[in-house]
Amino acid sequence: MVYLDHHATTPVDTRVLESMLPFFAERFGNAASKHHAFGWAASDAVEQARKQVARLIGAGTRDLVFTSGATEANNLAIKGAAQARRGERDHLVTVVTEHQAVLDPMRRLERDGWRLTVLPVASSGVIDLAELERSVTERTALVSVMAANNEIGVLQPIAEAAVRAHAKGAWFHTDAVQAVGKVPFDVDALDVDLASITAHKLYGPKGAGALYVRRKGRAVKLAAQIDGGGHERGLRSGTLNVPGIVGLGRAAEIALAEMTAEAQRVAGFRDRLLEGLRAKTDGMSVNGGMTARLPGNLNVSFAGVDGEALMVSLDDLAVSSGAACTAAEPSHVLVALGLSRDRALASLRFGIGRTTTADEVEYAVTKVSEVVARLRAMAPSQWCA
Amino acid sequence: MPYSDEVLRRVREPQRVGTLTAGAGVGTGESGTLAHGTVTRMSVRVRGDRIVEARFKVFGCSAAIASASLVAEWLEGASLDAAAVLTAERVARALQLAPEREYVARMAIEAAREALAKVEEE
């Protein structure tokens, strides 16, 4: 089985795993236990991880709130900001291609009476900054724009979007789970107020993430969404997941040290995958712009192929289809780019990562092109693009 | 995986894919449209009261491919009487199709019936 689905999740790096292991049975203390060495060891490890994560994104250590992952971080950012600014402001802005972990909290707030603007994207997948500027008003509490899209890997102009949000006094959040550790991401350079991160997208464990909350300059004060004990400066109560947080920290440290070389290698594989597929398969189109894109992402559609049959036929290749999350419904991201339902369904997302080898890329080229050819040959008439 | 091994095997290694050239003893039938997402075509060659060859072509989901493949397997070598009593329910049961996929089994049977009805005189 060849794994090319690194946007869904990544394997835990063995160096990360090693860093976590002592915190299960030996150094198992509660980081909130202030009166004995078990607690101190746990607390020290958490603070060390906080520094490692802060360094990766250019944040201060006091700006990070550990969470169970990005969904919780997004919920805390969005609902926490809305609740904190309720009365003063009543409008939210986001983008149609966001992950459900942003869209769903936004829609819940809309049901609760907030006005919501969902910005479209161009066929490249990128937002129109002028449209964003027009949408943000002095009533806007929060603007949320993802740093890198999980399906098409397209990078949004975060710094430019943040400037436009701030011009009207709105706070700016970015779901940065796909970008952090893959491409340079600095909260000060981008001037974001809130950023969501998760460990399992950067070779760390599932169940650990963080929300960056700006405390310098524009102090962002969120309303907590989980109460009970006042952990994480009162923003996220609950016993800290020490092994998970240690893993997140180590994963962040490795990502920072190896990002440049890894991005180059992964982008090389991605380009080879695209070149190989283009050489062997006609009627293929790339979804989303290729200029500002995650190095390991490729998303393509095949004309004249049933998407479901395509996925089922790729039995030993772990990739995602345009129908990944909600069976039989096309991806909302691909539809937002203007793809037809059939074309969106007949799409594949490749996520190349740290463990991918050149042989695996060649295998994917061969397998996908053979399956596409076989399905087309099986069709009653010549496929039509 | 929502599909049975019976479906997966036929999708990954389809047998009897093709179309028989029109002529004496050959009939071809089709069901569905591209606009609706599934087209199944079945061709049969009949000698006497027996189907000696069956081929299919299909555009559609895994269940559609497996249904067409299974019907072609059943038809080849079957007597015309045996072919006449094949039903979509039998196809769906053999492939363990979910109820919402049973329509593709019906399309394979419809294409087969049309093919048999259109067999040209020898």
Written as tens digits, the pLDDT of chain A (385 aa) is 999 999 999 999 999 999 999 999 999 999 999 999 999 999 999 999 999 999 999 999 999 999 999 999 999 999 999 999 999 999 999 999 999 999 999 999 999 999 999 999 999 999 999 999 999 999 999 999 999 999 999 999 999 999 999 999 999 999 999 999 999 999 999 999 999 999 999 999 999 999 999 998 888 999 999 999 999 999 999 999 999 999 999 999 999 999 999 999 999 999 999 999 999 999 999 999 999 999 999 999 999 898 889 999 998 999 998 653 335 678 999 999 999 988 898 999 999 999 999 999 999 999 999 999 999 999 987 544 3
Measured CA to CA, the distance from residue B56 to residue A304 in angstroms comes to 17
- CB-CB contact of A301 with A284 (8 Å): yes
Query: Do A342 and B12 count as a contact with CB atoms less than 8 A apart?
Result: no
**Chain A residues lying within 8 Å of B14, measured CB to CB:** 374, 378
Measured CA to CA, the distance from residue A275 to residue A52 in angstroms comes to 37
Structure tokens at A40: 């101190």
Q: Is the pLDDT of residue B121 over 90?
A: no
How far is B75 from chain A, CA to nearest CA, in Å?
Answer: 18
**Chain A residues lying within 8 Å of B57, measured CB to CB:** 378-380
Query: Do B8 and A315 count as a contact with CB atoms less than 8 A apart?
Result: yes
One of A226, A274, A325, A373 is an active-site residue; which one?
A325
Q: How many residues does chain A have?
A: 385
**Chain A residues lying within 8 Å of B101, measured CB to CB:** none
- CB-CB contact of B28 with B43 (8 Å): yes
Query: Do A313 and B59 count as a contact with CB atoms less than 8 A apart?
Result: no
Identify residues of B whose CB sits under 8 angstroms from chain A CBs.
3, 8, 11-12, 14, 17, 19, 30, 34, 37, 39-41, 57-62, 64-65
A384: annotated active-site residue = no
Tell me what ipTM this predicted complex has: 0.92
| Amino acid A325: pLDDT | 36
Q: B3, B11, B97: best mutation site toward chain A, by most A Cβ within 10 Å?
A: B11
Q: Which segment of A64-68, B16-20, B33-37, B68-72 scores lowest on mean pLDDT?
A: B33-37
| Amino acid A246: pLDDT | 98
Measured CA to CA, the distance from residue A362 to residue A353 in angstroms comes to 15
Structure tokens at A193: 């107020």
pLDDT (mean) for B40-50: 96
pTM of the model: 0.93
**Chain A residues lying within 8 Å of B19, measured CB to CB:** 380
Q: Is A280 helix (H, G, I), strand (E, B) or coil?
A: helix
Cβ-count burial A39-67 (b if 16+ within 10 Å, e if not): eebbbebbebbbbbbbebbebeeebbbbb
Residue % of chain B over a pLDDT of 70? 98
| Amino acid A322: pLDDT | 64
Banded pLDDT at B35 (limits 50, 70, 90): confident
Q: Is A148 helix (H, G, I), strand (E, B) or coil?
A: strand
Dihedral Cα A10, A268, A358, A204, nearest 10 deg = -10
Query: Do B61 and A379 count as a contact with CB atoms less than 8 A apart?
Result: no
